[in-house]
Structure 1
Amino acid sequence: MKFLNRKTNLFAKKFKKLISLGVLSVLAFSMVGCSSLDTAERREKSARTGENITLYAACDSGADTVTAKFMRDFAKRVEEKSGGKIKVETYSDSQVGGDSEIFEACQGGNISFVFQATSPQVSFIPEAAVLDAPMAFDNIEIARKVLDGELFEKLKKYYSEKGVELLGIADQGFRETTSNKRIEKLSDFKGLKIRTMENPYHIKFWKALGANPTPMSYSEVYIGLQQGTIDAQENPLEAIIVPRFYEQQDYLVNTNHFIHPVTCIASSKVMDSLTEEEKKIVYEAAEESKIWARNTTDNQLDDRLEVIKESGTEIINLDKKTVDDMKKASEFVWTDIENNLGSDLIDTLRAEIEKYN
């Protein structure tokens, strides 16, 4: 029986992979009545004959996350603004691939739009790492102003060079820390075994605080906390609540150490195939949905915190001295990013923060 189960599981995995690859291959190349033409020709013919257009959006995140909600709201607005002529089909929960796969599919035009954090994009667009500068923003309002300003305009150029358009950046708020160790001052981080993403700047940040960062798959975090492999983890509140990490943690520490941006990007190939009116609809929908997604993040915040409080997990807000100490300790990470990316983006980030402070 175990042998049959292994065979069944193996077949299911292979079948799922084949289905995913099939969907990726078909997505942007599916359009009503024009299957023999390439993407641009089909788009042009469809517009001339008045046929409806089907575009495709994907994210790696779960259906109930702000990322997926951002995607679905965008799709709804595009359809409404186009009077139903443009339909955007949405795929969440890694249905058509993980973050790297859907990014590459977007570059190739097989997926029209992708909604994801900047972290997985860094391997394709190194300049996106400017948003990994730690302890950058004193509050979410300043962060959002910066993400809409000159820095955003400069980042658009780097995205464009890689075959995608950066349409907007929403967020899931700040990344926070949960821990079984009480943290109130900088020295409390010393020796803390904390799960972090496989991101060099994030790892350097935690080491700068004296912690012991341990890269680990998100899916393994709960068991890691349960078994004591790690003492702590860091994520935006949404990503803490959904898998119930707080059940294994005594404290939630509002460290606000990194903003957790959520980008809306479009395939340059798909955008080039749209008419000017269709592009306008896409741009307007992305801008409006970005604001909607930010408001959704804010509106969910109190509910998220209430869940944590009711679980018995204590919430700690750090004082200004501790925050300043964390900033000072991690200054070299900014220098490291500057050395790797050049001074332009980091200087722009600093100038924008100073302007809004």
Structure 2
Amino acid sequence: MHQPWFRKGLALSMLLLFTLFLSACGGNNDTENSKGNKGAKDEGPKYTFRLAEAHPADYPTTKGDLKFAELVNERTNGRITIDVFPSAQLGEEKAAIEQVQLGAIEFTRISSGPLAEFNKDFGVFSLPYIFDNDEHVWRFLEGDMGRQLLDSLEDSRLKGLAYYSSGSRSFYSTKELNGTDDLKGLKIRVQQNKLNIDIIEALGASATPMPYGEVFSSLQTGVIDAAENNYPSYYSSKHYEVAPYYITDSHQRVPEVLMMSKTAWDKLSEEDQQIIQQAALDSVAYQREEWDKYEKESEQMVRDAGATITEVTDVKPWQEAVKPVIEKYRSEYSEILDAIDQAR
């Protein structure tokens, strides 16, 4: 039979262990409450994902990608790492989309222009002059229809996470540009979708779809006479060196899309999905700030380099020239165009 002192010591030991157990539980709860459920986020599988980016490392969309990756890494306490590969290291945009569909690459940032080949609703962004300015664009993108468009990518095995800014697109050429008449007969590079081809043909020019990475050499060798893009791309690609005439017609405002492979998305826990989705949305403000800053810097740099910038003060002749394109596609995009009008 155990002695009383032994039984008393055993009881004290059990009480001490029970107290320590309660303290540990309470400590975990305090940590979770004070650090945003940190304990839970430390648990679970570790991932290293890849994000394909066509633009250079110092470009605003790439900076947005990096901010997104940083937020995900921080909010999972290093458990999820997203490596960003700029300058089309993992392939040009169309190839990147296809690899993301297959799950070979987990993320990409893509222009909504090429996305129209995978989800026809995104072709609406290629319609000319449907937005008045950037404020109009973002009122639409942040509304219900903007979110519905991102969600609709799931039908193409893609998960739309957020939109990034890309300003407005204008024409630039190896020859002087002063108005719509100067585009007639030119061979103009366009993004790879049918609607862009229709716009160029409506302007009396010849559309030449090609990957972004081939534009510089094609302008240099005369394969094409002109292209179209925003100031940051015009500058960062050095296209101003071989096509020094830029006209600010602002015919399109085509947002960028940050997206994930639906295959990879479906393998994540609900908590990790929420972290990734929120990190994408939280990276938008930073990307937009970087865009606005770089857009101003780019314009100044190409001016300083000797590019001739022609300001368009009256867009009506441009709108009139491409009006048949709007009418051709109006019925196809009627619901989305109504939402764009409501955001005006």
CA contact (8 A) 2:183 2:204 kept: yes
Q: Aligned AA for 1:218?
A: Y
CA–CA separation in structure 2 for the residues paired with 1:49 and 1:197: 43
Give secondary structure in 2 for the equivalent of 1:123. Answer: coil
CA contact (8 A) 1:75 1:88 kept: yes
CA–CA separation in structure 2 for the residues paired with 1:221 and 1:97: 15
Q: Which of residues 293, 297, 300 is equivalent to 1:299?
A: 293
Q: Aligned AA for 2:339?
A: E
Q: Which of residues 220, 230, 253 is equivalent to 1:259?
A: 253
CA-CA distance at 1:313 after TM superposition:
1.6
CA contact (8 A) 1:179 1:251 kept: yes
Q: Which of residues 247, 251, 270 is equivalent to 2:264?
A: 270
CA-CA distance at 1:122 after TM superposition:
2.4
CA–CA separation in structure 2 for the residues paired with 1:315 and 1:96: 34
Q: Which of residues 320, 323, 331 is equivalent to 1:328?
A: 320
CA-CA distance at 1:47 after TM superposition:
7.8
TM-score, normalised via structure 2 length = 0.79
Match of 1:90 in 2: 84
Identity of aligned residues (%): 28
CA contact (8 A) 2:141 2:147 kept: no
Instruction: Please tell me whether residue 282 in structure 1 is matched to residue 269 in structure 2.
Output: no
Q: Aligned AA for 1:351?
A: D
Give secondary structure in 1 for the equivalent of 2:165. Answer: strand
Q: Identify if the C-alpha distance between structure 1 residues 271 and 221 changes in structure 2 by more than 3 Å, giving closer, same or farther.
A: closer
Q: Aligned AA for 1:95?
A: Q
CA–CA separation in structure 1 for the residues paired with 2:88 and 2:50: 14
Give secondary structure in 2 for the equivalent of 1:260. Answer: coil
Q: More deviation in 110-119 or 299-308? A: 110-119
Q: Aligned AA for 1:348?
A: E
Deviation per CA, 1:316-335: give whole Å up to 9, x if none.
22122xx1222222122223
Match of 2:14 in 1: none
Instruction: Please tell me whether residue 127 in structure 1 is matched to residue 114 in structure 2.
Output: no
CA contact (8 A) 2:245 2:308 kept: yes
TM-score, normalised via structure 1 length = 0.76
Q: Identify if the C-alpha distance between structure 1 residues 112 and 249 changes in structure 2 by more than 3 Å, giving closer, same or farther.
A: closer
Q: Identify if the C-alpha distance between structure 1 residues 338 and 49 changes in structure 2 by more than 3 Å, giving closer, same or farther.
A: same
Q: Aligned AA for 2:122?
A: A
CA–CA separation in structure 2 for the residues paired with 1:163 and 1:200: 22
Unmatched segments (≥5 aa) in structure 1: 1-45
CA–CA separation in structure 2 for the residues paired with 1:90 and 1:217: 20
Instruction: Please tell me whether residue 241 in structure 1 is matched to residue 235 in structure 2.
Output: yes
CA-CA distance at 1:305 after TM superposition:
0.8
Q: Identify if the C-alpha distance between structure 1 residues 171 and 47 changes in structure 2 by more than 3 Å, giving closer, same or farther.
A: closer
CA–CA separation in structure 1 for the residues paired with 2:96 and 2:224: 30
Q: Identify if the C-alpha distance between structure 1 residues 280 and 201 changes in structure 2 by more than 3 Å, giving closer, same or farther.
A: same
CA contact (8 A) 1:170 1:293 kept: yes
Alignment RMSD, CA only? 2.5
CA-CA distance at 1:213 after TM superposition:
3.0
CA–CA separation in structure 2 for the residues paired with 1:135 and 1:355: 15
Count of matched residue pairs:
305
Q: Aligned AA for 1:140?
A: D
CA contact (8 A) 2:61 2:291 kept: no
Instruction: Please tell me whether residue 172 in structure 1 is matched to residue 159 in structure 2.
Output: no
CA-CA distance at 1:51 after TM superposition:
4.7
